Amino acid sequence: MKNYSKQREAILTVLSQTDTHPTANWIYEQVREIIPNISLGTVYRNLSQLSQDGDILSINVGDGFEHFDYDTSPHAHLHCKKCGCIHDARLENDPLAKVAKKTGFTPETTIYVAYGICQNCNTNN
Amino acid sequence: MKNYSKQREAILTVLSQTDTHPTANWIYEQVREIIPNISLGTVYRNLSQLSQDGDILSINVGDGFEHFDYDTSPHAHLHCKKCGCIHDARLENDPLAKVAKKTGFTPETTIYVAYGICQNCNTNN
DNA sequence: CTCCGTGCAAATACTTTGCAAAGCG
DNA sequence: CGCTTTGCAAAGTATTTGCACGGAG
């Protein structure tokens, strides 16, 4: 198979089994439990290619880390300024799709991010 | 006035007079035409504080640069993978606002980014 | 005199890249 | 065997930070 490798397989497996939106480094540490001598560079290389191919989503919330998401369907990301968590929120449709097309723009991927305070941080303060 | 400075004033002026979504470095170069000996660190410090205060928008499209926007109203950003441009698209309402609240999340800022090919690159290829 | 923002430059840290070795077909 | 991917480590680079200085009131 094209682009197949044990490493890439393991990265996808790890990514598909988490609800969080991990960083490259987090993924690296998880994958090392499967392939102990995998290198961080390899993780970066694969994540970069996977997101370019549209197989995974790259999300940048501005916290200095690139986050990745196995779920490539259009959905919103709620990023808490306090605890830094990122939660998903389902979207009925893809609001940007139509707006973009109206301006002659051909969208391939859409990323929605809301910044604010999550439910947990709201109640615990 | 609190937090006032010639430097911050100049940064806001530059930012308010462009349609683009400039990077810190671009702003730095522009502001230097007003204040020749301003330092890059100062530009970063001010931009960071302004976006924290909600006076400007920080947009991260994943190209390795932080982009800034004087327009803080909810609107979409169309980012072309080919030429790297970022265009605005007006939004009727703020689709995320309601969805977020439904999950107990208190949104303060919402960022919409669509990745794809812009009209220019579409027709010129 | 006191405080806060600045300028300068060094430091930080995420991510990328070069290259030789290893793996798949 | 040829081509792709890996591991390792070094390099690259956007951004942050420490500290002494200077301006505003």
Structural domain contains residue B81: yes
> For chain A, what percent of residues have pLDDT higher than 70?
97
pLDDT, position B117: 93
Q: What is the CA radius of gyration of chain B?
A: 16
List pLDDT tens digits, range A96-118: 888 888 899 999 999 999 999 99
d(CA B14, CA B103): 38
> For chain A, what percent of residues have pLDDT higher than 90?
80
Q: Which two tokens stand for residue B46?
A: 């001010």
Q: Is the pLDDT of residue B122 over 60?
A: yes
d(CA B67, CA B62): 10
d(CA A78, CA B96): 9
For residues B38 and B86, membership in a common domain is answered with no
- E strands, B5-119, in order: 57-59, 67-69, 76-80, 86-89, 106-117
Domain boundary among A27, A42, A69: A69
pLDDT, position A96: 86
For residues A40 and A83, membership in a common domain is answered with no
Domain boundary among B48, B69, B90: B69
Q: Please list every residue in chain A whose beta carbon sits closer than 8 Å to the beta carbon of residue B91.
A: 95, 99
- Under the banding of pLDDT at 50, 70 and 90, the label for residue B92 is confident
d(CA B32, CA B28): 6
Please compute the mean of the pLDDT values over residues B108-114 and round it to a whole number.
94
pLDDT, position B33: 96
Q: Is the pLDDT of residue A13 over 80?
A: yes
For residues A45 and A91, membership in a common domain is answered with no
pLDDT, position A80: 94
Q: Is the pLDDT of residue A1 over 70?
A: no
Structural domain contains residue A1: no
Is residue B114 classed as helix, strand or coil in its secondary structure? strand
Structural domain contains residue B32: yes
For residues B61 and B114, membership in a common domain is answered with no
**Other Cβ atoms within 10 Å of B36 Cβ, number:** 7
Within window 64-103 on A, which residues have Cβ closer than 7 Å to strand D? 64
CATH number of the domain that residue B38 is part of: 1.10.10.10
List pLDDT tens digits, range A20-47: 999 999 999 999 999 999 999 999 999 9
**Other Cβ atoms within 10 Å of B107 Cβ, number:** 21
Is residue A90 classed as helix, strand or coil in its secondary structure? strand
Nearest CA among B76, B71, B56 for reference residue B19: B71
The range of the structural domain enclosing residue A88 comes to 75-123
Domain boundary among B69, B86, B102: B69
pLDDT, position B6: 94
For residues B65 and B97, membership in a common domain is answered with no
B21 and B67 Cβ atoms separated by less than 8 Å: yes
Cα angle B97, A76, B50 (rounded to 5 degrees) comes to 65
Q: What is the pTM of this model?
A: 0.92
- E strands, chain A, in order: 57-59, 67-69, 75-80, 86-90, 106-117
- The per-type count for chain B, helices as H runs and strands as E runs, is 5, 5
Tell which B residues from 61 to 120 touch A, by Cβ distance under 8 Å: 61-62, 66, 76, 78, 80-81, 87, 89-91, 95-97, 99-100, 102-119
Give the residue on A whose Cα is nearest the Cα of B61.
Answer: A60
Residue A2, CB, strand D, below 7 Å: yes
> For chain B, what percent of residues have pLDDT higher than 70?
97
A96 and B76 Cβ atoms separated by less than 8 Å: yes
Structural domain contains residue B61: yes
Please give the mean pLDDT across all residues of chain A.
Answer: 92
* Partner residue facing A62 (CB), from B60, B116, B119: B60
pLDDT, position A124: 81
For residues A62 and A91, membership in a common domain is answered with no
Provide the domain count of chain A. Answer: 2
Q: Which residues contact B115 (CB under 8 A, 6 or more apart)?
A: A107, A108, A109, A110, A111, B61, B79, B81
Nearest CA among A23, A14, A34 for reference residue A60: A23
pLDDT, position B2: 57
- Under the banding of pLDDT at 50, 70 and 90, the label for residue A2 is low
